[in-house]
Structure 1
Amino acid sequence: MNPLLDQPFSTPFQTPPFSKFSTADFKPAIEKAIEEAKEEIKAIVDNTASPSFENTIEALTLSGEKLDRITSIFFNLNSAETNKEIQKTAQEVSPLLSEFSNDIVLNENLFSRIKSVYDHKESFNLNEEQQELLRKTFRRFTRNGANLSEEDKTTLREIDKKLSKLSLQFGENVLAETNDYQLHITNQADLAGLPDYAMDMAQQEAEKRGLEGWVFTLHMPSYLAFQKFADQRELREKLYKASGAKAFQDNERNNENIIKEIVSLRYQRAQLLGYKTHADFVLEERMAKSPQKVLDFLNDLLEQSIEFAKKDIQSLAEYAEKTDGIKELMPWDHAYYAEKVKKEQFDLSDEELKPYFELNAVLQGAFSIAQKLYDISFVPNQQIETYHPDVKVFEVKDSTNETIGIFYTDFFPREGKRAGAWMTNYRNGSKMNGVHKIPQISIVCNFTQPTKDKPSLLTFNELTTLFHEFGHALHGLLANTQYEALAGTQVSWDFVELPSQFMENYCYEPEALALFAKHYETGEVIPQALIDKIIAAAQFLEGYQMSRQISFGKLDMAWHAVEISDIEDVDAYEIKAFEGTQVYPKVEGTNMSTAFSHIFQGGYSSGYYSYKWAEVLDADAFDYFKQNGIFDKATANKFKTLLTSGGTVDPMVLYKNFRGREPQQDALLKRVGIKS
């Protein structure tokens, strides 16, 4: 029997038995699971009893569980441990999954039963969570074509098939471009300025590739180290341009036509469903509600930050000219001179901080903070299988020592892993009919690897990234809902970043840092003087950072919130979208959109603004903690309720229940130094 179909898995906590299956098992397992799920749907449709919440809505949400498990494993591997065979399988199964999804939402008889329950909901005595599941189920069908004609349903199916394949191809192209590039250095003089860890890492990369000397890549730990510290400006420029040219070159991996096709299909899909644009369709179910509100939000923040951004870059430009005679500051100079000015202005550098942020100690610190806030603990479990030796597993236990979740960590870059950092799941939590299916949550990152001589020491940015993803993980691990479909991060996309960005605040708090920020050699707790510098430097270049994030949000909206006509030139369109937000000159041969995986491969289309939106929420929320104490139990209990509720309650209601009012921008603007 196919091991993927032998469910529930006979493993600790029903975790995936990675060693038992191979890539070849996935396609037949997915095909079989689709057939089984179709039978479950047929049983709902053929039920002769009157439609009820239990025999229709609940039965639907519980259907396809085996398929969900298999696909979660498969697509997680496609992101974190992919290869040509997995990518080929992804291209083959994605249209099948898209078609099956459409088979459900376009099933007239099934929708008829759902509509009957929805129309008679007052007679079913539903609790709050059941009401929300009913509302979301009904909206899922109406928003995805249940009311379309047969001809339009066929068109919708074709669009969704094409989109699923194009999205995969976009990501594969970006990953291939990232993996293939190398900056091979054989002259040691070209390494001037680089710290030992960066040279060690580059030497190991060269050895791995069978080369002499040093190799730098487009993977973030390698790329950022070079951009921050390498004195050779020409080589920084070369690496920057290589990164900016990903999937924008004249080869088979160029993503320009893929972008045009994706945005055109998304626009057609929205029109077919009765929406003006793709953004109108997406935002209807978000806190923001409309493209205009998003644009007003972004433009308001831009207006308040752009002058600060210009001053930030002007100060760097003056420093670069004074110290090195640089006449025009360029993007490949940014990280280099920012590091130097930060060191000079605040007497602070990543190299000074890194010894205090040893990866394992940081992770234990994150665990300690979660324990103080939410009364949970993390216990290593080496019996649970993983897909790679780098992956570690922890049981998450509550105050009664009951296991409430499984937590995977995967921290280092490798060829089969896409860039960036993310939280994902192998199963969301649920509590149905007295059975507690505990969540299985993973965070995947690309941090600086240990070398022969040193453990993994994190930059401050990597530290906040770990806490960010851990915040997402807590959202999933603390789930306390009846239904998996409403658990953890199954919330509005412009609300989902609140728990993650909220956790980043603890990286600046002396009381929290004292728990884990200890020198990896001496055990000395990070000195207060360094913490003071971290806090003082927190506002450094924040005007620039804010305008940069806003520019990405505006680019996303430019692709998705307008009536799409024929776009001839992706680069020219991007330049226009960036107008008013850019503080550096345009670099020919580089393009953001062609590697903008968040919106063309991930789930952030029409949603990139949510990072800034959630920053307003997180600053306002943490300000409340600061007023009461960053580990105050009563405040933490209220925030824990927000986390455990998942998508069972409207996010604005959840926030107001926690804070006592709607969020306000002041705390964020003060935090970044734009308001006093």
Structure 2
Amino acid sequence: MTGNPFFETRTTPFGLPPFDRIRPEHFPPAFDRGMEEELALVQAIADSAEPPTFANTVEAAERCGRRLATATGVFYNLYSSCTNDALDAIARDYAPRFAQHYTSIVHNPAFFARVDALFRQRHELGLDTAQMRLLERNHLEFVRAGAALASEAKARMAAIAERLATLHTEFGQNVLHDEKAWQLVLEEGDLDGLPGFARDAAAEAARERGLDGKYVITLARSSVEPFLTFSARRDLRRKAYEAWTERGGLPGDHDNTPLIKEIVALRAEQARLLGFPSYAAFKLADSMAKDVDSVERLLLQVWEPAKRKAATEKAVLEEQARAGGLNEPLARWDWRFYAEKVRQARYDLDEAEVKPYFVLDRMVQAAFDTATKLFGITFHAIPDAPVYHPDVKVYEVRDTGGAHVGLFLHDNLARSGKRSGAWMSSYRDQEALDGPVSPIIVNNNNFAKGQPTLLSFDDAETLFHEFGHGLHGLLSRVRYRSQSGTSVRRDFVEFPSQVYEHWMSAPETLRKYAVHHETGEPIPESLLNRLLAARNFNQGFATVEYTAAALLDMAFHTEPEPDAIDVPAFERAVLDRIGLPAEIGVRHRPPHFQHLFAGSGYAAGYYAYLWAEVLDADGFEAFSESGDLFDPKLSAGLKAIYSAGDTRDPMELYVAFRGREPRIEPLLKHRGLVEETPKAA
């Protein structure tokens, strides 16, 4: 195909994808050629008459698939950030093909034989630490994909992988369908209780949908959560809450319930073929946690304290609700509303008073400047760079000497066709095997657009969180692409992002960057103090809804008879067994739990956020103890983690930074789950 950007040398700044020229029809030919080229290169390695060496096998494999990686990198980022019917169709069509392609590589017997031979003699090869880890991880990837199985089991593994790829794609598309299809259209008289920023965001959402003069609440978290927090209309809160929690599970063609049952059953079969008693056991064998018992022990360490704290919170909320005239039991669509009332009363803190100080552009600058102080990098806008949507901003990242580090794309605003949530990804990973290749990293958020866009405190933390992931990709300094940036174990990948959140809430940051969008005045010290004092408010609720989701994940993936699962009944039984309070909903219900079922990355791994929080709370405490949040020695140690990628064991990296293994006490303290000992009289 002539004129296909994927078959041309890029002339854009620093190799940025030429988004202004890329069309859906360009992807299939690029995918097809990319797979053909990769298979040819892999087969050449497999057929080589030379004895296997690290260079002619492992390093040679690192050079395979670059064209395919380029094309899929662009495609799946656009598919998540700015999809349309054409991209959806391509995703459905190619999901099983990509699974088949990957399986044909890892199940190539001659290719695996060469890797296996090197693995068996690895201690005699004179490899450095990164090379040894690459060889060992590559061999493990082959084994966990079924390369060492007998031919019949290997064929079944291939069929399962192909079917799961299709199911994962359908699951995500069904959720997006429901999120796009639903909207709550409001008139002026329906806005009782909504502060100005929430009204403005709802008006903007209505304008985008051609409903000028009306107001729209969508199922984007940045839209529905403020509505549930402030709307005085209990009937409308219920309507919004039920739509939000039922997305992906509505009867009809887009119901994910039957997909979940098949996904869970196939994963369990996959694990059994590989000799594991459950899918969770299989996934956790290649994690920092190691096994199911360790994960459940961690989750239960916070579950009971969180429930106790939530029970205390509930009593206060009920008192507030009764005073406000609610005589019915507190419901799930009531919690945020009355929690905000209590927060206002207890801390004299009103979200409508706080939000004008959290302007998106200022918070972005805060994230950038923090990275400059910690890691010595700077961000420079490229206003004329090609982008896939006008909301996207592109920055060149440079080091202290002015040398190019990489490109960073920031896509912060919610819109139709963009999946919900927040995430980091890459268009190109850093590597240096055949010369330096700089990374192209993207952050996606879903903030409600405004003039200007105002963030909640939690929104600002999310921005810093995703930027921490972005830094993990940008600061990568590895030789091999397979070890680049965030290519680490799932329960370690959240540490660099979560530890970075702490700098957002540092008083030093807020005093400088939390500036009123109209007056330009910095946040008043009294408001700042009240804001920070309220940090642990409602943490029982937040911890319960998250931990319930993580326990539900483990239950699905340890179920001994997955073929017999009735998904709604299973969900109810698990939540009843662990004692989920009736007034608190699980953070993600199964039909829209994309972490688990729109891909396998976080399947039996949703606990990873809490596991990483043990690391991040303990790690940030080192900066607090030093008295300098930008302590040069600690900053250098932290940068070493961001730069190392998967070249070393994650616990080794953490201990090198902290001087010891992490403790859980800082996490319990950070979440306010430590019960204070009464002072002696």
Q: Which residue of 1 aligns with 2:622?
A: 624
Write the distance in 1 (CA, Å) between the matches of 2:122 and 2:194. Answer: 65
Q: Which residue of 2 aligns with 1:542?
A: 539
Q: Which residue of 2 aligns with 1:577?
A: 574
Q: Contact 1:12–1:383 at 8 Å: present in 2 too?
A: no
Q: Contact 1:4–1:29 at 8 Å: present in 2 too?
A: no
The offset of 1:448, in angstroms, is 2.0
CA change 1:27–1:564 in 2 (3 A) is: farther
Letter of the aligned partner of 1:462 in structure 2?
A: D
Deviates more, 1:592-601 or 1:573-582: 573-582
CA change 1:174–1:129 in 2 (3 A) is: same
Q: Contact 1:313–1:583 at 8 Å: present in 2 too?
A: no
Write the distance in 2 (CA, Å) between the matches of 1:616 and 1:406. Answer: 31
CA change 1:33–1:534 in 2 (3 A) is: same
The offset of 1:240, in angstroms, is 0.7
- The alignment status of 1:655 with 2:660, answered yes or no, reads no
Q: Contact 2:153–2:273 at 8 Å: present in 1 too?
A: yes
Letter of the aligned partner of 1:573 in structure 2?
A: F
3-state SS of paired residue (2:46): helix
Q: Which residue of 1 aligns with 2:486?
A: 489
3-state SS of paired residue (1:332): coil
Q: Which residue of 1 aligns with 2:679?
A: none
When normalised by structure 1's length, the TM-score is 0.97
Letter of the aligned partner of 1:556 in structure 2?
A: D
Q: Contact 2:335–2:584 at 8 Å: present in 1 too?
A: no
The offset of 1:339, in angstroms, is 1.2
Q: Which residue of 2 aligns with 1:431?
A: 432
CA change 1:248–1:57 in 2 (3 A) is: same
Deviations 1:207-258 (A, max 9, x none): 3434452222112222122111111101101111111111222211111100
The offset of 1:431, in angstroms, is 1.6
Q: Which residue of 2 aligns with 1:240?
A: 241
Matches within 5 A, 1:212-611: 213-433=214-434, 435-450=435-450, 454-578=451-575, 579-585=577-583, 592-602=589-599, 603-611=601-609
Q: Contact 2:285–2:291 at 8 Å: present in 1 too?
A: yes
Q: Contact 2:268–2:562 at 8 Å: present in 1 too?
A: no
Write the distance in 2 (CA, Å) between the matches of 1:106 and 1:2. Answer: 35
Write the distance in 1 (CA, Å) between the matches of 2:642 and 2:301. Answer: 29
Deviations 1:611-643 (A, max 9, x none): 111111110001011011111111111111111
The offset of 1:277, in angstroms, is 1.1
3-state SS of paired residue (1:17): coil
Q: Contact 2:45–2:56 at 8 Å: present in 1 too?
A: yes
The offset of 1:544, in angstroms, is 2.0
Q: Contact 1:368–1:515 at 8 Å: present in 2 too?
A: no
The offset of 1:9, in angstroms, is 2.4
Deviations 1:417-462 (A, max 9, x none): 00000011111111224x1101111000100212xxx311111111
Deviations 1:333-353 (A, max 9, x none): 111111111111111122111
Gap runs ≥5 in structure 1: none
The offset of 1:586, in angstroms, is 8.2
Deviates more, 1:157-166 or 1:304-313: 304-313
Q: Contact 1:90–1:168 at 8 Å: present in 2 too?
A: yes
Write the distance in 2 (CA, Å) between the matches of 1:581 and 1:85. Answer: 45
Write the distance in 2 (CA, Å) between the matches of 1:215 and 1:642. Answer: 43
When normalised by structure 2's length, the TM-score is 0.96
Deviations 1:305-351 (A, max 9, x none): 22112111221122111222343111111111111111111111221
Write the distance in 2 (CA, Å) between the matches of 1:585 and 1:446. Answer: 27
Q: Contact 2:549–2:588 at 8 Å: present in 1 too?
A: no
Q: Contact 2:320–2:341 at 8 Å: present in 1 too?
A: no
Letter of the aligned partner of 1:177 in structure 2?
A: D
The offset of 1:576, in angstroms, is 1.6
3-state SS of paired residue (1:411): strand
3-state SS of paired residue (2:447): coil
- The alignment status of 1:200 with 2:184, answered yes or no, reads no
3-state SS of paired residue (2:333): helix
3-state SS of paired residue (2:50): coil
Letter of the aligned partner of 1:559 in structure 2?
A: F
Deviates more, 1:44-53 or 1:309-318: 309-318
The offset of 1:304, in angstroms, is 2.7
RMSD: 1.6
Q: Which residue of 2 aligns with 1:182?
A: 183
Write the distance in 2 (CA, Å) between the matches of 1:419 and 1:340. Answer: 27
The offset of 1:580, in angstroms, is 2.4
Write the distance in 2 (CA, Å) between the matches of 1:547 and 1:587. Answer: 9
Gap runs ≥5 in structure 2: 677-681
Write the distance in 1 (CA, Å) between the matches of 2:585 and 2:462. Answer: 28
Write the distance in 2 (CA, Å) between the matches of 1:600 and 1:340. Answer: 36
Q: Contact 2:289–2:295 at 8 Å: present in 1 too?
A: yes
Deviations 1:64-106 (A, max 9, x none): 0110111111111111100111011001111111001001110
Write the distance in 1 (CA, Å) between the matches of 2:42 and 2:5. Answer: 21
Q: Contact 1:652–1:662 at 8 Å: present in 2 too?
A: yes
3-state SS of paired residue (2:436): strand
Letter of the aligned partner of 2:616 in structure 1?
A: D
Equivalent of 1:612, from 607, 610, 619? 610
Q: Contact 2:7–2:30 at 8 Å: present in 1 too?
A: no
The offset of 1:206, in angstroms, is 2.9
Q: Which residue of 2 aligns with 1:64?
A: 65
3-state SS of paired residue (2:396): strand
3-state SS of paired residue (2:443): strand
The offset of 1:562, in angstroms, is 2.6
Q: Contact 1:506–1:513 at 8 Å: present in 2 too?
A: no
The offset of 1:8, in angstroms, is 4.8
Q: Which residue of 1 aligns with 2:174?
A: 173
Letter of the aligned partner of 1:580 in structure 2?
A: I
3-state SS of paired residue (1:515): helix
Write the distance in 1 (CA, Å) between the matches of 2:9 and 2:547. Answer: 45
Deviates more, 1:7-16 or 1:154-163: 7-16
Write the distance in 1 (CA, Å) between the matches of 2:10 and 2:157. Answer: 36
Write the distance in 2 (CA, Å) between the matches of 1:137 and 1:35. Answer: 22
Q: Which residue of 2 aligns with 1:672?
A: 671
3-state SS of paired residue (1:369): helix
Question: Percent identity of the aligned residues?
Answer: 38
Deviations 1:463-500 (A, max 9, x none): 00000000111111100111111111111111111111
Q: Contact 1:259–1:600 at 8 Å: present in 2 too?
A: yes
Deviations 1:585-609 (A, max 9, x none): 5889x98110111111142101000
Aligned length: 670
Q: Which residue of 1 aligns with 2:108?
A: 107
CA change 1:496–1:123 in 2 (3 A) is: same
The offset of 1:6, in angstroms, is 2.1
Q: Contact 1:11–1:17 at 8 Å: present in 2 too?
A: yes
Write the distance in 1 (CA, Å) between the matches of 2:539 and 2:585. Answer: 23
The offset of 1:504, in angstroms, is 1.2
Q: Contact 1:468–1:503 at 8 Å: present in 2 too?
A: yes
Letter of the aligned partner of 2:464 in structure 1?
A: F
CA change 1:207–1:368 in 2 (3 A) is: closer
The offset of 1:672, in angstroms, is 2.0
3-state SS of paired residue (2:407): strand
Write the distance in 2 (CA, Å) between the matches of 1:8 and 1:299. Answer: 54
3-state SS of paired residue (2:618): helix
Write the distance in 2 (CA, Å) between the matches of 1:367 and 1:581. Answer: 42
Write the distance in 1 (CA, Å) between the matches of 2:372 and 2:325. Answer: 49
Q: Contact 1:248–1:591 at 8 Å: present in 2 too?
A: no
Letter of the aligned partner of 1:440 in structure 2?
A: I
Write the distance in 2 (CA, Å) between the matches of 1:527 and 1:198. Answer: 22
3-state SS of paired residue (2:147): coil
Write the distance in 2 (CA, Å) between the matches of 1:464 and 1:163. Answer: 33
Write the distance in 2 (CA, Å) between the matches of 1:604 and 1:610. Answer: 8
